[in-house]
Chain A
Amino acid sequence: MSGLAVQVGALARRSIVRTLRQPAMVVPSLLFPLMLLSINSSGLDSATRLPGFPTDSYFQFALAIAFVQGALFSANSAGTNVANDIESGFMNRLALTPLRRVALMMGQLAGILALGLIQALTFLLVGWAFGAGFEAGLPGALLIVLLSLLISLAFGCIGAFVALRSGSGEAVQGVFPLFFAALFLSSMSLPRDLIESDWFRTVADWNPVSYMLEGIRSLMIVGWDAEALALGFGCAGVLALLALVAASSALRTRMVRT
């Protein structure tokens, strides 16, 4: 095994174990999206009577929100873990070792991906259990998991970036509402073409979260929609890449400062 693989493995194991050992991090990230899904799908079921609504089950429509909302919790948990490492001095001690930065970054993100996987599988199972159809079948469900992981990675990197720049868990918590703003100002509650308010539709059109939701939603409601998938994966991928570059740069600065 190469040195890099050993370093990544050790840090990834630590990150995964640490994430899974904190019920306060795992439970809300599963519970709150499911709670919102349950309330939304009952409270807004009558919206399916709007002409042009793509399905007759609001539960099926709203299920995609749980995946993205779960990913937003990943951002919080990634940021908080990194901030804890900085605040506790763990990062300082790592800086004295010959550890490579890329290993540190990949290791930290492993915990997020583990959490993202648990979330995605849970939401899929809940969807199946409560009768949500998956038009794209099993391969589509696997693709939903993949897209969900990519979204978790993107938001996780943003959380890590904020933590590395600020070195403070409070700063990460302070950014959390902004992530929720991104979710609420998207096509979360209605398809974009059914949003009546012009300004809101424009915001939703420019908001990448709309396309992430629509990518997941398309596999559940439509089947194989190449455009929706390309936009979903494209937005999540570009955001993940940009956030990863920003987080790596912040890590470099943080290590130099150390």
Chain B
Amino acid sequence: MSRGGFISVARGVGWRNIHNWFTNPAMVIPGLLFPLFFFTAFAGGLSRVDSVPGFDYDAGYTTFVYGFVLLQAAAFGGVFTSFSVARDFESGFSRRLMLAAGNRLGIVGGYWLAALARSAFNIAAITVVALLAGLTIDGNVVDLAGLYVLVLLVNAFAMLAGAGVAMRLRTMQAGPAIQVPFFLLLFLAPVWVPYDLLTGWVEAAAAFNPITLVLEANRGFLAGDPVKVLPAFLIVVALIGVSMLWARGGLRSAERAA
């Protein structure tokens, strides 16, 4: 298969999804609303938590929460794009697409472009709201570049992992199977307080959760005190590698069923 085939298919699928998404408020709003909603509820309702003895994050609670919400927006940008994959299979559009596409991996590439666009839009909107709400960023330009590259890599992981499920199940009823694992991955991390203040089973789960590393790296970038950068990037790249294989397997499964 030619590289040109991959790019033209990816561009076509990506453009279609981005267009569908931007012209349909029912698709724009949930992806935007939920992170905004969590940001508002946590940054506003829990801000006193930074007074708990042992809460050691100088950039403030709004910045602490922003680090998580950014990750949530990126991950759910990928997850919601996977819903589009499932919908396209359910409606029969994907069967026709697979007949027409010169390079079927380009289909996955197109959905990834759409996920990237959705996340970039959501992240921009959330950042504006957070800045208005008093977000302070102590990191420099290099830290911020590291931060946004890291969360966009998480977006790619979420989209590929979700697409793998969607292409295997090929129905909108796959929604919970796509969404719930990411919900758990995100919330079984140090969401509201630093890791050292977690207790009980969430502490144990967070110790093994790869998202904990990513979240801590995010917060380090924002505070201008980067921590665990290399492990965070390595783990996300590894997750992308595994989810690529998972998505390719899903595509093969869909091809066999077509």
Residue ranges of A at the interface with B (Cβ–Cβ < 8 Å) = 38-39, 41-47, 49-50, 174, 177, 180-181, 184-185, 188-190, 194-197, 199-200, 203-204
- Nearest residue (CB) in B for A195 is B45
Q: Is the CB of B49 within 8 A of A41?
A: no
For residue B193, give the distance in angstroms from its CB to the closest CB of chain A: 5
Chain B residues whose CB sits within 8 angstroms of the CB of A39 once the complex forms: 187-188, 202
Q: Is B48 an interface residue (CB 8 A)?
A: yes
For residue B63, give the distance in angstroms from its CB to the closest CB of chain A: 14
Q: List 16 A-B contacts (CB under 8 A).
A: A42-B199, A42-B201, A42-B203, A43-B192, A43-B193, A44-B193, A46-B52, A47-B193, A50-B52, A177-B37, A185-B41, A188-B45, A190-B48, A190-B49, A195-B47, A200-B44
Q: Is B46 an interface residue (CB 8 A)?
A: yes
Interface residues of B in 29-52 (CB under 8 A from A): 30, 33-34, 37-38, 40-49, 51-52
Interface residues of B in 9-39 (CB under 8 A from A): 26, 30, 33-34, 37-38
Q: Is the CB of B203 within 8 A of A46?
A: no
- Nearest residue (CB) in A for B50 is A196
Chain B residues whose CB sits within 8 angstroms of the CB of A188 once the complex forms: 41, 45
> Which one of B38, B55, B191 contacts A43 once the chains associate, using CB atoms below 8 Å?
B191
List 6 A-B pairs, minimum CB-CB distance, nearest first: A200-B44, A42-B202, A42-B200, A184-B41, A46-B197, A196-B48
Q: Is the CB of B199 within 8 A of A180?
A: no
Knowing A50-B51, A189-B46 touch, does A41 contact B41 (C-beta < 8 A)? Answer: no
A158 and B48 alpha carbons, distance in the complex (Å):
33
Chain B residues whose CB sits within 8 angstroms of the CB of A185 once the complex forms: 40-41, 44-45
Give the number of A-B contacts (CB < 8 Å): 87
A197 and B47 alpha carbons, distance in the complex (Å):
7
For residue A132, give the distance in angstroms from its CB to the closest CB of chain B: 14
Interface residues of B in 178-203 (CB under 8 A from A): 187-188, 190-193, 197-203
Q: Is the CB of A42 within 8 A of B33?
A: no
> Which one of A43, A49, A189 contacts B45 once the chains associate, using CB atoms below 8 Å?
A189
Main secondary structure of the interface of A (DSSP, over half): helix
Chain A residues whose CB sits within 8 angstroms of the CB of B41 once the complex forms: 184-185, 188-189
For residue A35, give the distance in angstroms from its CB to the closest CB of chain B: 8
Chain A residues whose CB sits within 8 angstroms of the CB of B53 once the complex forms: 49
A181 and B203 alpha carbons, distance in the complex (Å):
27
> Which one of A49, A177, A195, A204 contacts B30 once the chains associate, using CB atoms below 8 Å?
A177
Interface centre among B34, B42, B55, B199 (most CB of A within 10 A): B199
Interface centre among A38, A39, A184 (most CB of B within 10 A): A39
Chain A residues whose CB sits within 8 angstroms of the CB of B203 once the complex forms: 42
A195 and B193 alpha carbons, distance in the complex (Å):
16
A177 and B34 alpha carbons, distance in the complex (Å):
8
Q: Is the CB of A42 within 8 A of B198?
A: yes
Q: Is the CB of B52 within 8 A of A180?
A: no
Chain A residues whose CB sits within 8 angstroms of the CB of B54 once the complex forms: 46
A181 and B34 alpha carbons, distance in the complex (Å):
9
Q: Is the CB of B48 within 8 A of A43?
A: no
Knowing A38-B201, A42-B199, A46-B197 touch, does A184 contact B49 (C-beta < 8 A)? Answer: no
Q: Is the CB of B44 within 8 A of A43?
A: no
Chain B residues whose CB sits within 8 angstroms of the CB of A181 once the complex forms: 37
Other than the given A47-B49, A195-B44, 14 more pairs (CB < 8 A) read A39-B202, A42-B199, A43-B193, A46-B49, A46-B199, A49-B53, A50-B48, A50-B52, A184-B45, A188-B45, A195-B47, A195-B48, A197-B45, A200-B47
A188 and B46 alpha carbons, distance in the complex (Å):
10
